[in-house]
Structure 1
Amino acid sequence: MGVAAGIGQLHHSFRTALVALLLCDPPATPRVTADEYGGLIGLLADAPADSPQPDAIRLDEVARHPWGVATVDAIVRSPSVRQAARLAGVHHSTLQTHLDCITGVMGFDPYDGFGRTRLGTAYLVWRLRHSRVLDMPVPQVDVVVVADGA
């Protein structure tokens, strides 16, 4: 669902609705409403899809780790390493090790100053660029074998 808008701003509401749809990740996140992201959704909707986003590109390297995406998600949603560890389902020392790796790859500490904002924004852009929501399923073809009776 996009942001509420008057008739003159329906194009903006549509773009934010599309961004919200692309941020879905079923089954974990089956529905996203634009209002959950406040002004960020408008920034994401208005940014060109091919705009340079070096932090989002660096997240590709983090995402190669089996724990990468879940850890980044937990860090973005949590105020502390311990809370992020609980969300990620790992011991806090394990999460700290993962955080150290993320900090090295990203080049900044996600828990320092604008680091959380940078990581959160990069994560949303990364999710948009890797969304599979609009991918069509592979068509299923039933094969019928007819025996030759002759």
Structure 2
Amino acid sequence: MHLARRMFLLRMRLLHFVSSLNTYIITRILHSTVLEFVPRLEGAQNLQQLIDIHEQYVRSTHERCLLHEQASIMREAIMKVLDLALQFAMCWQMGLSTVRVEVITRVEKDVRNFLSFLLTLLIKATSRGSFPHLESLMLALLAGAETDGVRQCGV
């Protein structure tokens, strides 16, 4: 396949991942936790209740952002894909004439492997009910998955 076409496909795949992650953060973390937080905050009767409600909000946000120990593998996989997106962005900015085929081949392979691994983790976590808030991210990433990557995930 022509290098320019491969780069455009990889760019779209990475944009889909970043967009899906952004949508998850905005809708399932920020928006939904604030919707839970504000009514509880308005119902606080004293300073201690206010502190407790805020602590619960922070814990919920922390959990949904995958910052707790149970989600460390998922978080690392997401960070690896984001690192690959940054590597690719540098290649993209340098221009097609300066990019080596081997570099794009490696980035394509790594993106495919890490997204497949992340999807496997998300599918298992949501099917167990461990992280129900991750279902929307899983479905968005499945929608953009390559056919062979989806088969590897067991879907």
Please state which band the TM-score falls in when normalised by the shorter chain.
Answer: under 0.3
More helix by share: 2
Q: TM-score, normalised by structure 1?
A: 0.24
Which has the higher relative contact order, 1 or 2, with Cα contacts under 8 A spaced 6 or more apart?
Answer: 2
- Max radius of gyration: which structure? 1
